[in-house]
Amino acid sequence: MGVVFLFVLVTSFIFRIVSLRNNLSFWNDESHTALMSRGIMEYGKPVTSYGSSMGVYQLALYYLTALFFKLFSISEFTGRLPSALAGAMLVTAGFVIGKKILNSKRALIVSFLIGFSQIQLAWSTQLRPYIWLELFTLLISYFLYQYIKSPWKLFNKNLAISVILSLTSCLFHGTGLLNLALVCLVIVYKIIKHQKFIYLLTIPIFGVVGALIVFSSMAGGWAFVRDIIFKVYLSPLHYRIFLTHNYLWLIVGAIIGFLTLFRRNRELSILLGGSIVFIFAVAIFKINPNYVRYSLPAFPLMYILFAEGVVSVVEKITKKEYLRWLLIALTLALLSLTGKFVFWPKNYYSINADVRENPIVDYKLAFNKIKDLIGDNQDIIVMDAWNDRVPWYLPGQNYIYLVKDGAGKTDSVFGEEMIGTIPEFEVERESFPSGIVIVEDWQSQTPEDMKDHIRKNLKFEFMVQDLPYNEDDHWGISVYSWGI
């Protein structure tokens, strides 16, 4: 069993490294993380050249990425390498935890699902924190289970580890607060289970900690805290399509696993199943219903229940061990028909494979061409539809942010001027002898009427579409100019 697991671990890690070696362009959110990490190397802390920071938002990810930049070099490969390592750690944690709470057979299935799922390969090859959040959620779930099983004591080693991991996950991304909420819910359960109701008075502490984390993140402020608490989204269509069109097999298997596990270990089944439902509910109705990445921490828990379901059904079918293994292998082979698994290393694993959410363009190629257009011209102005691409690819370049409702404003993060109307655009155009404008070919932050105005009145230079090895996922940017 151990040899098979090592094969899964090593092979799946190779799959991840193969994708990283091409140094393919960052997409928007990745370049933001890389930019703040570069700020640590340049200024000693995660700030922009304008002096602004993100507070505690992604603080741990910034420092971890900066460490790898320092040890190796500043590149896409180096920036994404920690995520690939986290993916390998997640495969390992899935096997070890699966073995401890279930058995080796189920654990091996869990490690396989984590190791070769397209969605896991994609997110463990990005400079984003979500694979880390999966790892933290899985570890926290294990230690919370140990906490539930232990004799009554409000605070013990297992709870301490869970709290530390939860707070650490908050430093990787604000959605780490979900882990803190799970810890809080388990504490409430244990208090009620042992009828120690006086200890319910400790629960508000978690609310205060959560509010302080939100207050210290990104925009911060109590208005942001208020929005987090009271804002509710009621548009689950995107998630419904994501789950029913791509992961119905996983949902059905996890439900079967929940029911079979419930018969022999109610607390574990409710912990896993309840955590999955909680994460999806918050992701859909509280965080953002248009981005499935916020539900990723639920996936390792779903894999555990799926493995439980598969093995339980197989064990009902036959008592012969070799037939059980044959049926498990057949099940995994059939899963390949879903298109959600990868069995040969690829140059790129798309985060849009399930639903198209994130504009992925070869920005590195585009900005290299823009750099050639600029040449030695010190007076040129660049206008972009995103605020952190120019600082990453063209550090020191003067630029303007084209964004709806940006009229008369200055970006608080990078300090560049913001404009959002055609008259403002024309004023700036008259102010500079030459300029370059980047227009995104999808519905973006730049007003559509301004895009049309740019297309009609400026010189078209070039278009960059898609990313190498990801040609089926079509996104494009067009570059226009004047005075060049």
Instruction: Render pLDDT for 85-111 as a digit per residue (tens, 0 to 9).
Output: 999 999 999 999 999 999 999 999 999
β-bridge mates for residue 479, sequence order:
438, 462
Q: Is the pTM of this model over 0.75?
A: yes
Q: Dig out the tokens for 26 from the structure.
A: 């960052």
pLDDT for the residue 221: 66
pLDDT average, residue stretch 396-416? 92
pLDDT for the residue 236: 94
- At 222, the pLDDT band (50, 70, 90 cuts) reads confident
Answer yes or no: is pLDDT of 58 > 80: yes
User: Which of 130, 93, 127 lies closest to 113 in space, CA to CA?
Assistant: 93
> Are residues 322 and 424 in contact, defined by beta-carbon separation less than 8 angstroms?
no
pLDDT for the residue 195: 94
Answer yes or no: is pLDDT of 216 > 80: no
Answer yes or no: is pLDDT of 131 > 90: yes
> Are residues 165 and 140 in contact, defined by beta-carbon separation less than 8 angstroms?
yes
pLDDT for the residue 408: 86
pLDDT for the residue 204: 87
pLDDT average, residue stretch 15-42? 95
Tokens 């029911």 sit on residue: 259
pLDDT average, residue stretch 204-230? 75
pLDDT for the residue 123: 98
pLDDT for the residue 337: 87
Answer yes or no: is pLDDT of 226 > 70: yes
* Residue 116 to residue 63: CA distance in whole angstroms: 28
* Residue 353 to residue 308: CA distance in whole angstroms: 27
Q: What integer best gives the mean pLDDT of the chain?
A: 94
pLDDT for the residue 223: 72
The residue that leads in pLDDT, 397 or 1, is 397
pLDDT for the residue 397: 95
- At 280, the pLDDT band (50, 70, 90 cuts) reads very high
Answer yes or no: is pLDDT of 190 > 80: yes
Answer yes or no: is pLDDT of 220 > 80: no
User: Which of 69, 185, 177, 89 lies closest to 131 in space, CA to CA?
Assistant: 89
Strand ranges across the sheet with 459-465: 409-410, 417-419, 399-402, 381-384, 435-440, 476-482, 459-465
> Are residues 228 and 220 in contact, defined by beta-carbon separation less than 8 angstroms?
no
* Residue 20 to residue 99: CA distance in whole angstroms: 30
* Residue 138 to residue 300: CA distance in whole angstroms: 6
* Residue 439 to residue 454: CA distance in whole angstroms: 8
pLDDT for the residue 161: 98
pLDDT for the residue 209: 82
Residue 352 is classified by DSSP as T
Question: Which sequence spans correspond to the domains of the chain?
Answer: 2-338, 363-482
